[in-house]
Amino acid sequence: MTKFLSLAAACIVPLICTNCSTSTDLKVISANGVSAPSGVAKIKKENFQTAQCSASAVAAAAGKPRDKHKMPVYAFSDRNRVVRTTAYTCSECDHLIYGSKNATGTYLRYTDRVRSAAADWSFYPVGTTFRIKGLPYLYVIDDYGSALTGTGTIDLYKPSKAVMNQWGRRNVEITIVQWGSMNRSADILSDRTKFAHCRQMLSNIIRQRPDLASYAQR
């Protein structure tokens, strides 16, 4: 879902994604919550009991401009947000070429503490961490995708298609714990401007941060 790659090109990659849940520093949790060896994806189903968005968050969103999904577009000063979320997994056809790696070149994470997420980096710079109301995990933006460009949608990494479909699409309330780096986002994207969505993200970052214009001149 979240990678710019033609279906034809992606499907020539073997249809088995190995080590989708590989983590270099944390353990992967199994379906019953017991720790499993790193790289062993046993998770088939989880309890995603997200909390209802608070009245204050809904009220604060009412006056915001909207993206193409009619969801609010926030200023960076707004840490509590109502956002549209989707889900993806590394065994989807358009992610196979990337395997278990994210856009930063490290492993996607799905543990009992930290989980990977993708977004438009001009909305949520790489490294941005947040929590979803009602869930105990810390999510980190370490990926992006062409379908997310120009929107505030956040795509949550899941270890299998079953768990991905279990999440589906839902609006949730999030709290930004720490903002990521616009500089690092621009640095990574500047080497990928042959892709339209990377150019668009970089352009929007520079629009917000003119001091980063040098990245567009590489």
Residue with tokens 């980063």: 212
What's the chain's average pLDDT?
82
Buried b (16+ CB within 10 A) or exposed e, 159-179: bbeebbeebeeeebbbebeee
Predicted pLDDT at 24:
34
At 59, list the tokens. 């009220």
Predicted pLDDT at 217:
80
Continuous H helices in the chain: 7-11, 55-61, 161-167, 182-190, 196-208
Predicted pLDDT at 186:
98
pLDDT band of residue 36 (cuts 50, 70, 90) is very low
Q: Is 111 helix (H, G, I), strand (E, B) or coil?
A: strand
Largest Cα span, the chain: 50
Strand partners, 35: 29
Predicted pLDDT at 150:
97
pLDDT tens string 161-178: 999 999 999 999 999 999
pLDDT tens string 125-163: 999 999 999 999 999 999 999 999 999 999 999 999 999
Strand partners, 154: 85
Asked if the model's pLDDT at residue 35 lies above 80, the reply is: no
pTM of the model: 0.80
Could you tell me the fold of the domain covering 7-43+52-179?
Answer: Barwin-like endoglucanases (2.40.40)
At 107, list the tokens. 């492993």
pLDDT band of residue 216 (cuts 50, 70, 90) is confident
What burial class does residue 47 get, using C-beta atoms within 10 Å of its C-beta: 0-12 exposed, 13-18 middle, 19+ buried?
exposed
Rg (CA), the chain: 17
Predicted pLDDT at 121:
98
At 31, list the tokens. 């379906």
Higher local confidence (pLDDT), 203 or 101: 203
Predicted pLDDT at 2:
44
Strand partners, 84: 171
Residue 79 has a CB neighbour count (10 Å cut-off) of 13
Judge contact between 27 and 112, C-beta under 8 A: yes
The region of weakest confidence among 48-52, 58-62, 72-76, 113-117 is 48-52
Predicted pLDDT at 30:
32
Higher local confidence (pLDDT), 100 or 116: 116
What burial class does residue 24 get, using C-beta atoms within 10 Å of its C-beta: 0-12 exposed, 13-18 middle, 19+ buried?
exposed
Predicted pLDDT at 20:
45
pLDDT tens string 62-93: 999 999 999 999 999 999 999 999 999 986 55
Domain ranges of the chain: 7-43+52-179
